[in-house]
Amino acid sequence: MAVNEGSINTNNNRGRLLVKCPDKPGIVAALSKFLYDHNSNIIESSQYSSDPEGGTFFIRIEFHSEGLQEKRQVLEDDFKTLASTFSMEYRFTYSDKKKRTAIYVSKEVHCLMELLWEWQSGDLDTELVVVISNHETARPIVESLGIPFYYIPARKDIREQVEEKQIQLMKKYQVDVLILARYMQILTPNFVNHFPNQIINIHHSFLPAFIGARPYERAYDRGVKLIGATSHYVTNDLDEGPIIEQDIERVDHRDRINDLKKIGQQVERRVLARAVKWHLEDRIIVQSNKTIVFR
């Protein structure tokens, strides 16, 4: 099985702490003191307050601590008192526990190819454990890298049975993150509810314009001047989940329909790859239907 060089992380003493809580004085000082008291060195820290007077405070801290594997349970147990004091929602993650990722794809493989390249080069810090598709198109690409590939035909009339198979596969492979790399199927509420803030999607940024089929053809007819893409978490509100990343490219009257599609695919590839990378690096905190992204 192919293994990307970046998948072997020799530094097992790094951790991340993400916190969301009501804003008040003393939060940063308390967090810093806690880590200092536990012989931890802060490597990176980013914070944001929605409003210093009665708003919500967000912070991401990356830290190094010798012997972290052995003492992480003590660290987490001791943190509960501090978290209670400041009414914190929080999570710890660790560099030696890579997230396990599944990719869903249909016929168009440009986003899949970008993710595979990023993974092979070590820029996606994840265990890529399975690819699922409702077409056979991507099989040779995926299996050449030693990644399990499952072809599961999907139609509206068998959607529940299909998703039950997919859920079982997610359990089998202990998947943490699901990436919809141009997977052209609508997910049911039952499926989405199994994976809150774990499903990342990509789509063109014409929305809410040109909803439905042939968006590039209709955008060409309308004479658009910008082509874009949006990556977001999937919720039960179709294409309206918390936005992670967006980007655009300018186009003009010389660009034909195929040009627009090609430009759109280029934007989709880089936007999805950035969104996935930030998720894997725990740089995102979801707040209602928005995201705080510590880039």
The tokens of 128 are what? 């890529």
Is residue 243 classed as helix, strand or coil in its secondary structure? strand
Q: How many Å apart are CA 266 and CA 256, to the nearest integer?
A: 16
CA atoms lying within 13 Å on the CB side of residue 40: 25
Active site residue 239: yes
DSSP single-letter state for residue 186 = P
Residue 22 in tokens: 């009501």
Identified catalytic residue from 239, 247, 252, 255: 239
Burial level of 121, CB count in 10 A (0-12/13-18/19+)?
A: exposed
Q: 246 and 230 in contact (C-beta within 8 Å)?
A: yes
Instruction: Report the catalytic residues.
Output: 239
